[in-house]
Structure 1
Amino acid sequence: MDTQDRRQRLLECLKKSNKPLTGALLSRKFNVSRQIIVGDISVLRAGGVTIYATPRGYVLPNEESLGLVAILACKHDDRQMRQELEIIVDNGGHVRDVIIEHPLYGEIRADLMLSTRHDVEVFVEQMKECDAQPLSLVTAGAHLHTIEVPDQESLERIKALLRKENICANS
């Protein structure tokens, strides 16, 4: 299989999958190194394909938006990260990303794509396994989340619960 065929088949795998696919899994499937997969993903993105690189693997965006997109301004310590994410997903939200404003590099964004409590659990466990720190460590806990919610009522409920826990600054 040539490079172009592999990239086309890689894109088809992502389209057919209902869950994120890791670089390791894709490299085994196509019998190439993980770095080749990373390069293929970069070329597909440069060609205009939106591919999210999440902590659980590569995924294409869901064509069906939940309805309303909002950005939440949050600030908390490490111990409240799980609580914050669970409040959002338990109330119908989908966490697209986390964004920080780095003093040197400017905006840094990482795709999360969390929709369920299980997604949150996997994310938190991966952080522990990698001995990783949240991006918000750089900004003393301050960060943004882009979220999708089905309606204004869900958004207001999420914001109220986050405010109650002193996590969200949105009014």
Structure 2
Amino acid sequence: MQKKLSGKERRQRIVESLIEASEPQKGGKLAEGYGVSRQVIVQDISLLKAADHPIMATPQGYLYNQPQNAKEKRTCIIACRHTKKDMSDELNILVDHGVTVKNVIVEHAAYGELSGQLMIKSRKDVERFQQLMDEQQASLLADLTGGLHLHTLEAEDEQTLSEAKEALKKGGFLVEQEAD
């Protein structure tokens, strides 16, 4: 029988497992591995974040957001607009161009900036996210702003980002700044 870990030991092991993981780790799976409830894991993650561990909660699970030691990736922020029925089309355009959709951001009149961490980088991720949205009957953050939202995109190079933005423009998703 495995010795029950203290909260401090469990949190240290959670950090170690997230650092070593190549894919996001689901809270339920972590809970099962440490013999605690998912709610305990959620509390542990909150405590770890408060202690400045760069842990990100995504629809795919928890990630330790380590700086890239390899070639630095390029990022940009784009503005898009669409309805819920077009969400998968927008995301698939991006991932098909080799872009990771890091988040979604909206500007709320009372709360200011609201964001959700996505880390969507494949059609499989898009499919899982769409399924989660459907199962939970969840609304898009962009529903708060008439469909207008921002995404932080990440890619290997500027050319990849440019091609993805052009494809979004052709698809009618990209909102461009109007000339004065």
CA distance in 2, matches of 1:73, 1:109: 13
Unaligned runs of 5+ in 1: none
CA distance in 2, matches of 1:24, 1:169: 38
Corresponding position of 2:174: 168
Superposition pairs of residues 11-160 of structure 1, within 5 angstroms: 11-61=15-65, 63-64=67-68, 67-160=73-166
CA distance in 2, matches of 1:152, 1:62: 22
TM-score for both structures, normalised by structure 1: 0.94
Aligned residue-pair number:
171
Backbone CA RMSD of aligned residues: 1.4
Corresponding position of 1:6: 10
The alpha-carbon deviation at position 62 of structure 1 amounts to 5.2
Percent identical among aligned pairs is 40
The alpha-carbon deviation at position 79 of structure 1 amounts to 1.8
Unaligned runs of 5+ in 2: none
**Which shows bigger deviation, 108-117 or 63-72?**
63-72
TM-score for both structures, normalised by structure 2: 0.90
CA separation of 1:137/1:66 partners in 2, compared to 1, >3 Å: closer, same or farther? Answer: farther
The alpha-carbon deviation at position 63 of structure 1 amounts to 3.6
Larger radius of gyration: 2
SS of the aligned residue for 1:48 comes to coil
CA distance in 2, matches of 1:13, 1:79: 36
SS of the aligned residue for 1:123 comes to helix
